[in-house]
Every structure is written in C-alpha cells, then in structure tokens.
Structure 1
Amino acid sequence: MSLHLAEVTSANLEAAMAIRVRPDQEYAVKPVAHSLAEAYVRPAGVAWPRLILDGERPVGFLMAFLDIDWRADGGSLRRSGLWRLNIDAGEQGNGYGRFAVESVAAELRRRGCGELWVTWHPGADGPEEFYRRLGFRTTDETSEGETVGVLDLAHR
C-alpha cells in the first residue's frame, strides 16, 4: 500500500464524489458531495477535506474540523477533530479508516492540538468499536444525538 492524502481539486473532484459507503452505513455519514459543500460554506480554514488514495486509486474521503467553536456560544470551547470519514464500500476492512484517523491525528499534532475529537451514531452497527480500537474514549457528551469520543494526542 502506498497510502496518502490528496487535496480535493478540480482534477480529482469526480473521483472524490464517487466514494460511496455501504448502503447500511448511509444513515450514519453524509455523502462526499455534502461534505464538500459544507467545507465550501464554512469560514476558510475550518474544514480540511482530503481524498484518501492507495497509489493513484481513490479509496475514501475524510474531512477534519479545525479549531471550531464546539458549543457555538462565542468560542468558550474550541476543538479540532474528524468530521467525516467515508471509506468506499468495496475498500472497507483494508486499513484505510485507520490510516485516515492517523493522518488527521498527525495533522492536528502538527498544528499543536492535544486532542482529536469525533462523533458517531451509537448502536450495534455503528463505528464505536473501530474508534475504541484506535484509542478513543467516550465522554459523557452527545452532539446532535451522536456519541462524542476523544483521542489524547499528547500520549500517543
């Protein structure tokens, strides 16, 4: 595997938007096109969308959030983390999700962050075990009905 991230550009936009999770996962993650639209309407520097490539082959998409006002109350709680993770249905189980989380963690460390935040839909068919295996711990918070998890970057 020669895994790497690529900025989403006009040259790879169609490939990014072709990424589709399994049908049973569609309730839990927005399509790539929705994520790119959200990135476009946010203030510059808040969203960090990236195509996940294995060699030249697109296998997934991620979008991080950077230094957001978590409570939307004027900035009393700032956080950065993983906003979206879409691994193509035919590519799941090959380590691409782990690579995506590790890539976001590396970028956040580079930016001086000590924690990586994520939310997920709770339930037996959700991604909680995936995130726990990577070292995330749940908090007592929820965000829009989703479980909130955090990974300590300072001790990893």
Structure 2
Amino acid sequence: MAELRLEELSARNIVAANNLSLKPGQEQFIAPVTYSVAASTINPATSWQRVVLNEDKVVGFIHGNFDPESPQEELRACIWRINVDADAQGQGVGKFAAHALAEEARKRGFDRITVIWESGEDGPEAFFHRIGFTDVGETQYGETIGALEL
C-alpha cells in the first residue's frame, strides 16, 4: 500500500467515506447502541473526523471525540467509529487511523484513548487488541470498553 495520509472529512470526500465497503458479517458491528446514543450528544467542537487516503482513494474513515469535560471517562478521548474498506483491510489502514487519533489525543493532553465494541466472530475486537487496546470495562449494554495508554 502506498503512503497513507489523513484528510479532514469534507463535502469533497464524504460520499467516498459513506461508500466504504464491508466484508460479509461486519455490518452488525458498525454502530453499537452505545455509539448511537452517545453520538446524539456530540458537540461539533469536540468531534474529530478524518478520512484515510491511499494516494487519492478514500480507504478508511475515523471519527474521534475529545471532550475532557465528559462525565463518562470512556468518552473523553475516544474512537466513535472506524471503518476500513473491505479491500484495504489487513493492510495497516485501521492501525494508521487509530494511531493518528492517538497522536492527536497526546497533543491535546490526554494519556489514553478508548473505544467501545460489540463482541462477535466478525467484530473488531481482535483488531483493537492487535494494535494495543486492552479491555478495561463493559457498558450497560454488554459492549466492551477498550483503552490504549498513550
């Protein structure tokens, strides 16, 4: 894969981000209940949305949130959503995106980032563990809360 780069989500690239393909079985893991509920309270000033480009092609998307005032610790510096195109999975795109968000968190003074996922055979748990996240808790809906210490 050529050199990956980030670009802010914009009108120019949002259609490509929305059209990222998935591998069979991944659809059920895109937006767990916790994400949907929490997303309704996101302050645009704390939202961080980027697409990952390989040359000029959008191959991934990451949505993070940075809110040091959040009453829920796991939502202060977190990955809301990460999607990698089916054809680009396993090529370092997700790791690149997650580590870019981690670097942004460091710049903002955070010492860890979190992510919430639903367990399952085709789910993202193995990916998050491979890139350094450890399980630190569970939501009231039974989803796993993972953290990456910075």
Which TM-score tier does this pair reach, normalised by the shorter chain? 0.7 to 0.9
In structure 2, the residue matched to 1:23 is: 24
Give the secondary-structure state (helix, strand or coil) at the position aligned to 2:29.
coil
Could you tell me how far 1:91 is from its partner in structure 2? Answer: 1.3
How many pairs does the alignment contain? 143
In structure 2, the residue matched to 1:124 is: 121
Could you tell me how far 1:21 is from its partner in structure 2? Answer: 1.9
Relative to structure 1, the CA distance from residue 42 to residue 119 in structure 2 (aligned partners, 3 Å threshold; closer, same or farther) is closer
* Contiguous gaps of at least 5 residues in structure 1: none
User: Percent of aligned positions with the same letter in both sequences?
Assistant: 37
Give the secondary-structure state (helix, strand or coil) at the position aligned to 1:140.
strand
Q: Which region of structure 1 is more displaced relative to structure 2, 98-107 or 13-22?
A: 13-22
Relative to structure 1, the CA distance from residue 105 to residue 7 in structure 2 (aligned partners, 3 Å threshold; closer, same or farther) is same
Decide whether the 8 Å contact of 1:7 with 1:49 is kept in 2. Answer: yes
Could you tell me how far 1:76 is from its partner in structure 2? Answer: 6.4
Could you tell me how far 1:144 is from its partner in structure 2? Answer: 3.2
- State the superposition RMSD in angstroms: 2.3
Q: Runs ≥4 in structure 1, deviation > 4 angstroms?
A: none
In structure 1, the residue matched to 2:54 is: 54
TM, length-normalised to structure 2: 0.84
* Contiguous gaps of at least 5 residues in structure 2: none
TM, length-normalised to structure 1: 0.81
In structure 1, the residue matched to 2:3 is: 2
In structure 1, the residue matched to 2:103 is: 106
Distance 1:10 1:140 in 2: 36
The one-letter code of the counterpart of 1:8 is L
Decide whether the 8 Å contact of 2:13 with 2:58 is kept in 1. Answer: no
- TM alignment of 1:129-144, pairs within 5 A: 129-142=126-139, 144=141
